[in-house]
């Protein structure tokens, strides 16, 4: 047996790497290569050594081809699967040197350099290739035209890595790259796989490219890709499926074959059984196929996706990547259809998802949260209190303290569904101690965290008892609520105002909250109504006023005073501006407020009616008698009917 190279100290190896002797250098490089290939830990150790990677990169300029080949292989291995390695290699300037070597006279050097570049391009850290430069495009074409598998592979990998926006896709299509990639589909195994990946990158959100492809050669290329979804090699099946998914997600009608989609779901399910990388990636592909598409979620349900995945989850301890993918796919399947959620719960997957909330890997925790979010959209199970228990709540609340903001946001979005409880169990949540965290997160620096925290609080007080609402409101404090209403993010404003809408909904007593501390909240909302550009913010604000206008005379007068311009001013009233909004929902909410202000049985209704009339509100409302939106039309009728009743009452 040859002597073990691992006995040598790294320091000795480093000295030999910088030897002036080509033979010594060659041996040292080869030794290093054999130590690090397949060995993540060793790669990281050498990267940390600092001098190693730059020394290897220096050897790329050697005059000895065999040294250059070894150095390229070492660099490729450092870049393979380890982001720190890619970074070290790029920092040491390997990128341009390797590109230079692709035009070397020695075929072995060319091969080795192309292979290393391919490795680097498989990382997100690799610099983007500039397809819009003519020179670079010519080089890419020469790569794809070449004989060597590593060169064509490099060309395809560059496209997979760097083709992101429409302009790049168009440039590639215009340069005839599509045709080259289609030729590669009929090449060797590796060429086929590389081409499928690159094609997916060219198809993503590119309707023009897609129709060119689907119609190419009378549909031949398309048929080849469909055929490849049934290939012997699992990786090829996966890549071909992903290629079709990219195509469909952009141009859903290409081709209209439902059977093909069902087949694809079955293919991806089968790939889940692959023990390697393919099995890890299959659930992500499935997720992208069905996300947001109810019809496909139904097909997935019929293909027993939930059954299969629950079996996998129960069978053995899965790797983080696969767990993440499976929970994501389950989240998508359960996002719209109640049958899917029922299946999910009946198979007791909820317990597994709750357990995954404690997983070491934050991507898994996020995926588990998304899964909970989808399942907790089930109104039936929400009101049955399926989620408000220790199993789900304790880990979920713990995640509110997670170090990762992305996890916090995912936990909050699951929580806000669970908190829409129609039953009396809301106080159970207080016992778990989650509210304090929600208050804390509603002042987070991260706007997404703030948004989701106030969203959860809003749902928490939805249709809750007065006493409960008061407790939450006082602890959140009017000043925090004020700053959330005045947040610079419109989405946060919207949810904060909606919180107030839920707060003042119900009894007259609850309306008083909005006038506490010199009515700062009331004024903040009115200010947003006057200035906000997003109609979603105004809609919520108007509903707050509509709710307040159901209160006593003082409440009604306060609303009216804010909506009409001060006497003697020439400003157009905000009320008229909002009545003229192009948003149906906003017009509905505004007319509704007018209806509540002029409710005939209340004592001051007639005087308010006069003020509104003088401000021109009623002539505007009359113009809306034939509004295109039925909701608006209905409220306008009520408003006009009430105005007649008011006049009758006053005489």
Contacts with other proteins, residue ranges (CB under 8 A): 1-2, 4, 6, 30, 33-34, 37-41, 73, 76-77, 80-81, 115, 119, 149, 188-191, 275-276, 316-317, 319
Which of residues 7 and 582 has its CB atom nearest to other proteins in the complex?
7
Which of residues 153 and 551 has its CB atom nearest to other proteins in the complex?
153
How near is the Cβ of 582 to other proteins at its closest, in Å? 56
CA distance 628 to 622: 14
How near is the Cβ of 433 to other proteins at its closest, in Å? 34
Q: What is the DSSP letter of 444?
A: -
Which of residues 2 and 568 has its CB atom nearest to other proteins in the complex?
2
Q: What is the DSSP letter of 357?
A: T
Which of residues 2 and 259 has its CB atom nearest to other proteins in the complex?
2
> Is-contact 361 399, C-beta < 8 A?
no
Rg for the chain (alpha carbons), in Å?
A: 32
Which of residues 34 and 638 has its CB atom nearest to other proteins in the complex?
34
How near is the Cβ of 189 to other proteins at its closest, in Å? 4
Which of residues 35 and 442 has its CB atom nearest to other proteins in the complex?
35
How near is the Cβ of 237 to other proteins at its closest, in Å? 15
Which of residues 280 and 332 has its CB atom nearest to other proteins in the complex?
280
Q: What is the DSSP letter of 85?
A: H
Q: Rounded to 5 degrees, what angle do the CA atoms 147, 148, 153 make?
A: 115
How near is the Cβ of 264 to other proteins at its closest, in Å? 24
> Is-contact 478 516, C-beta < 8 A?
yes
> Is-contact 589 631, C-beta < 8 A?
no
Name which of 282, 294, 387, 365 is nearest 333 in CA terms.
Answer: 294
CA distance 583 to 541: 14
How near is the Cβ of 33 to other proteins at its closest, in Å? 6
Plot region of 519 (φ>0 → left; ψ -120 to 50 → alpha; else → beta): left
Which of residues 36 and 542 has its CB atom nearest to other proteins in the complex?
36
For the purposes of burial, counting CB atoms within 10 Å of the CB of 310, is it exposed (0-12), middle (13-18) or buried (19 or more)? buried
How near is the Cβ of 115 to other proteins at its closest, in Å? 6
How near is the Cβ of 70 to other proteins at its closest, in Å? 9
How near is the Cβ of 2 to other proteins at its closest, in Å? 6
CA distance 446 to 412: 13
CA distance 254 to 611: 59
- First-to-final CA distance of the chain: 113
Which of residues 4 and 651 has its CB atom nearest to other proteins in the complex?
4
> Is-contact 314 351, C-beta < 8 A?
no
Name which of 171, 170, 147, 144 is nearest 158 in CA terms.
Answer: 144
How many other CB atoms are there within 10 angstroms of residue 322's CB atom? 21
């Amino acid at each position: 047996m040859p002597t073990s190279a691992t006995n040598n100290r790294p320091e000795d190896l480093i000295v030999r790497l910088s030897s002036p002797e080509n033979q010594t250098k060659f041996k040292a490089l080869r030794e290093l290569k054999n130590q690090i290939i397949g060995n993540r830990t060793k790669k990281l150790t050498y990267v940390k050594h600092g001098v190693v990677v730059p020394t290897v990169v220096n050897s790329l300029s050697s005059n000895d081809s065999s040294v250059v080949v070894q150095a390229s292989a070492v660099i490729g291995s450092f870049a393979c699967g380890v982001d720190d390695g890619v970074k070290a290699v790029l920092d040491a300037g390997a990128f341009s040197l390797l590109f230079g070597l692709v035009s070397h006279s020695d075929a072995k050097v060319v091969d080795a350099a192309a292979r290393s570049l391919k490795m680097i391009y498989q990382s997100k850290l690799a610099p983007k290739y500039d397809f819009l430069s003519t020179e670079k495009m010519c080089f890419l074409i020469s790569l794809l035209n070449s004989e060597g598998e590593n060169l064509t592979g490099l060309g395809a990998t560059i496209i997979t890595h760097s083709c992101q926006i429409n302009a790049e896709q168009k440039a590639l299509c215009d340069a005839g790259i599509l045709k080259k990639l289609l030729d590669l589909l009929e090449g060797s195994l590796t060429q086929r796989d590389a081409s499928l990946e690159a094609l997916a990158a060219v198809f993503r959100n590119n309707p023009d490219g897609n129709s060119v492809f689907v119609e190419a050669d009378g549909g031949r290329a398309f048929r080849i890709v469909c055929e490849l979804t049934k290939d012997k090699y699992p990786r090829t099946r996966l890549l071909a499926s992903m290629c079709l998914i990219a195509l469909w997600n952009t141009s859903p009608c290409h081709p209209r074959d439902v059977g093909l989609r069902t087949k694809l779901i079955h293919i991806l399910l089968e790939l889940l059984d692959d023990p390697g990388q393919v099995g890890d990636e299959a659930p992500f592909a499935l997720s992208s196929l069905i996300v947001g598409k109810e019809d496909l979620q139904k097909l997935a349900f019929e293909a027993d996706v939930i059954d299969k995945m629950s079996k996998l989850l129960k069978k053995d301890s899965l790797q983080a990547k696969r767990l993440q993918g499976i929970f994501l796919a389950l989240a998508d399947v359960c996002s719209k259809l109640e049958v899917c959620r029922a299946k999910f719960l009946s198979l007791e997957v909820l317990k597994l998802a709750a357990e995954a909330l404690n997983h070491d890997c934050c991507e898994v925790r996020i995926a588990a949260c998304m899964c909970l979010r989808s399942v907790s959209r089930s109104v039936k199970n929400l009101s049955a209190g399926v989620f408000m228990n220790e199993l789900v709540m304790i880990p979920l609340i713990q995640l509110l303290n997670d170090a990762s903001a992305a996890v916090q946001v995912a936990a909050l979005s699951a929580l806000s569904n669970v908190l829409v409880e129609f039953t009396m169990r809301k106080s159970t949540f207080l016992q778990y101690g989650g509210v304090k965290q929600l208050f804390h997160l509603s002042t987070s620096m991260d706007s997404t965290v703030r948004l989701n925290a106030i969203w959860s609080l809003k749902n928490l007080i939805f249709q809750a008892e007065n006493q409960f609402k008061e407790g939450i409101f006082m602890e959140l404090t009017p000043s925090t609520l004020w700053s959330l209403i005045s947040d610079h993010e419109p989405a946060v404003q919207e949810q904060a105002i909606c919180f107030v809408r839920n707060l003042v909904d119900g009894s007259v007593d609850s309306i008083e909250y909005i006038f506490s501390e010199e009515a700062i909240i009331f004024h903040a909302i009115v200010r947003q109504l006057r200035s906000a550009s997003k109609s979603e913010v105004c809609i919520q604000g108007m509903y707050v006023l509509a709710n307040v206008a159901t209160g006593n005379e003082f409440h009604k007068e306060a609303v009216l005073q804010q909506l009409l311009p001060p006497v003697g001013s020439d400003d157009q009233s905000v009320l008229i501006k909002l009545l003229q909004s192009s948003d149906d929902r906003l017009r509905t909410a505004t007319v509704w407020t007018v209806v509540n202000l002029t409710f005939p049985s209340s004592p001051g209704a007639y005087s308010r009616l006069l003020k509104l009339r003088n401000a021109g509100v009623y002539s505007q409302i009359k113009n809306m008698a034939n509004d295109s939106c039925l909701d608006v039309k209905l409220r306008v009728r009520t408003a006009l009917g009430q105005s007649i009743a008011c006049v009758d009452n006053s005489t």
